[in-house]
Structure formats: structure tokens, C-alpha cells
Amino acid sequence: MGPQIRDRAFAIPTYDNLMNPTLQALRALGGSGTVREIFEKAVQLERLPEKLLAILHDPNRGSQTAVEYRLACARTYLKQYGLLDNSSVVSGRLQLERKMWPKSTLRE
């Protein structure tokens, strides 16, 4: 079994607490990024410890970590709120909606 959470200082951030880091990661990536790029940048920005990143969401169902799962939830809600766009699924990139990013800084 994976690491156990024993105190609040080691608590996995909730999906709603990962929404702003997700948006910040996308901004830092120039307005768009792959799921992996967004994950890595959000983890870096939040300074999440390796021990926390090793905790699996559901060890019986696969290798997805709890942080990966909650970031996926955050992205889903951000899409539902109209803040993220994944219409460029062919390229495998998510991007900030244009209304969330100054035109002069968006990558085309």
C-alpha cells in the first residue's frame, strides 16, 4: 500500500484548491500545454513534495496518482466554467480561453 496521510501538512490538495494552480501553470506555459506539462508546472508552482506525488488515487484500479486525479477534476471544472478549451484535441493540448489571456501574449 502507498504512503498514508497522517497530518494536514501532508494533505492532498482538493480539486478546487488546484484550479488556480492549473490556470497559473497554463499562463506560465504561454497559454497552452499538454496534460503532462500542466501537471509538472502546477506541481512546481505549488511545491508539492515527492511523497505526496507518490500517493495513488486508487491502487486497485491503476497507477494514476491522487494529485493527477484531482488536477484532472480541476481541468474538467475549468472547462465547464468556460475557462479552458480543449478544442485542439488533435494536438493533445489544452489552452486558456481567449477571454482569460491577453491577445498579445497568446501563441497561435
pLDDT given for residue 35 in this prediction: 92
Residue ranges of domains in the chain:
8-105
pLDDT given for residue 54 in this prediction: 93
The answer to whether 84 and 32 are in contact (CB under 8 A) is no
pLDDT given for residue 100 in this prediction: 58
pLDDT given for residue 107 in this prediction: 46
The answer to whether 32 and 95 are in contact (CB under 8 A) is yes
Spell out the per-residue pLDDT of the chain, length 108, in tens: 444 444 445 689 999 999 999 999 999 999 889 999 999 999 999 999 999 999 999 989 989 999 999 999 999 999 999 898 876 554 667 787 765 555 444 444
CATH 3.40.50 fits 8-105, yes or no: no
